[in-house]
Amino acid sequence: MGAERVAIVGIGQTHHTATRGDVSIAGLVREAAQRALDDAAMTWSDIDAVVIGKAPDFFEGLMMPELYLADALGAVGKPMFRVHTAGSVGGSTAIVASDLVASGVHKRVLTVAFEKQSESEAMWALSTPFPFSPPMHAGAGGYFAPHIRAYMARSGAPDHIGIMVALKDRLNALKNPYAHLHEPDITFDSVKDSFMLWDPIRYSETCPSSDGACALVMVDESLGDDAAAAGRNPAWLHGTALRSEPTLAAGRDQVSPWAGRECAADVFAQAGITDPRKQVDVVEMYVPFSWFEPMWLENLGFCGQGEGWKLVDTGVTEMTGDLPVNCSGGVLSSNPIGASGMLRFAEAALQVRGQAGEHQIDGARTALGHAYGGGSQFFAMWVVGSAKP
């Protein structure tokens, strides 16, 4: 963390859905931003700077969307910054915005992330031929399925673990009015019987393709205190970390990437967390395919190698467990890609503010927001708390 403490005082998101045909891209981001401003009891003119993130630009056919969105986000005459990392972009964007406050450069920063997947076809936008490179996959699932198979072989995890994660997240999503997928009739068997997309990933173990946006307002300590005094408890930032590693490197472990382990160790150290399993109350992690929950539990240090699936199997990560994961329904229930990382960070902040509604974990004081991208090689994480760091 920097010299200044950072408080998250405004959180907004859209209702995520397959097609938001009723709004333009500008309308979509403005909806989330307006909700975050309302939550922060602020107006557009209160904001010093805007940080926007999404990835990749190909999905909407719009290059450098920050230029066109400057007006819609009230950025005219102000600094407007654009972040573009991989699937982790929503998380990276929130971190860049928090840096602006932590460094003392600005006092009130609005950050927004979005994706309007209905404007294109993400799977094929991700499957363009790279010059001089062999075509490796069709869509992200084809890329990650071998990593999951490696995890299953390595840990001896039984087939039903992925089904359990998918069922849990989709049931949690029923408690989140903003979630894209609301499937009240979902059962273990319906997930199990859904067709195999990329063995071992079934259709119901896969994230949807969503339109949506998320926005946060971050302020300095004094404004955070003001919000608390007015009865609007902020989430306080306790640590942020970014790590990246190459797509290909000799000895690289795609199942539990070095960058993920280092990123988690860094962010926990900043937050003074020595025993994550005990000290973290709730986790929002980036799980686009069900099996990534046990994989990330291990990578993040919540348990030993090969133990993650056992936490799932024994219900530890359910809302009633001692380490609830993705109470919002997670990426498995809403995936506006560019916003998905920021949604994880935002949901973590909602939990420590006690404002997560039906999917609130009672008494949550410390939460982890996690995002990853690329070939499991880009990581962004933050720890937020109900108390000041």
Partner 1 sequence: MRDIAIVSFAQFNSPIERQRNEVEMIMPVVGEVRDRISITKDKIDFVCSGSSDYLAGVPFSFVTTLDAVGPWPPISESHVDMDGAFAVYEAWVKLQMGKIDTALIYAYGKSSPGDIRRTVTRQLDPYYLGPLWPDMHSIAALQARQLLESGQITEADMAEVAARSRAAAAANPHAVVSGTESAEELLAAPRTYDPLRAHDCPPVTDGVAAVVLAAGDVARELCDRPAWIRGIEHRIDPHALGVRDLTRSPSAAAAAKAAGVADGTVDVAELHAAWSHEELLLRRELGLGDDVDVNPSGGALCANTMMATGLIRMGEVAERIWAGNADRGVAHAASGPCLQQNLVCVLEGE
Given the rule CB under 8 A, which residues bind partner 1? 1-3, 24-25, 55-64, 66-71, 75-86, 92, 96, 99-100, 102-105, 125-126, 128, 130-132, 241-249, 252, 257-259, 262-263, 374-375, 377-378
For partner 1, give the closer residue by CB, 206 or 270: 270
Within 8 A by CB and 6+ apart from 152, the residues are: 159, 200, 291
Provide, rounded to whole angstroms, the least separation between the CB of residue 280 and partner 1.
22
Q: Which is nearer to partner 1, 61 or 184 (CB)?
A: 61
Phi first, then psi, for residue 218 (nearest 5°) are -120, 140
Question: Residue 180 CB: number of other CB atoms within 10 A?
Answer: 22
Q: What is the nearest approach in angstroms of partner 1 to the Cβ of residue 105?
A: 6
Q: What is the nearest approach in angstroms of partner 1 to the Cβ of residue 80?
A: 4
Nearer to partner 1 among residue 183 and residue 253 (C-beta): 253
**CA-closest candidate to residue 203, choices 158, 255, 141, 247:** 141
130 or 195: CB nearest partner 1: 130
- If the CB atoms of residues 88 and 210 are measured against partner 1, the closer one turns out to be 88
In degrees, rounded to 5, the angle at the alpha carbon of residue 37 between the alpha carbons of residues 36 and 43 is 170
Report the SS3 class of residue 173: helix
**In the complex, what is the shortest distance from the CB of residue 85 to partner 1, in angstroms, rounded to a whole number?**
5
For residue 237, report the phi and psi dihedrals to the nearest 5 degrees: -80, 125
User: How big is the CA angle at 298 (ends 293 and 300), to the nearest 5 degrees?
Assistant: 90
Q: How far is the CB of 155 from partner 1 (least distance, A)?
A: 23
Cβ-based nearer residue to partner 1, 232 or 261: 261
d(CA 69, CA 23): 14
Least distance (Å) between residue 211 CB and partner 1:
15
Classify 352 as helix, strand or coil.
helix
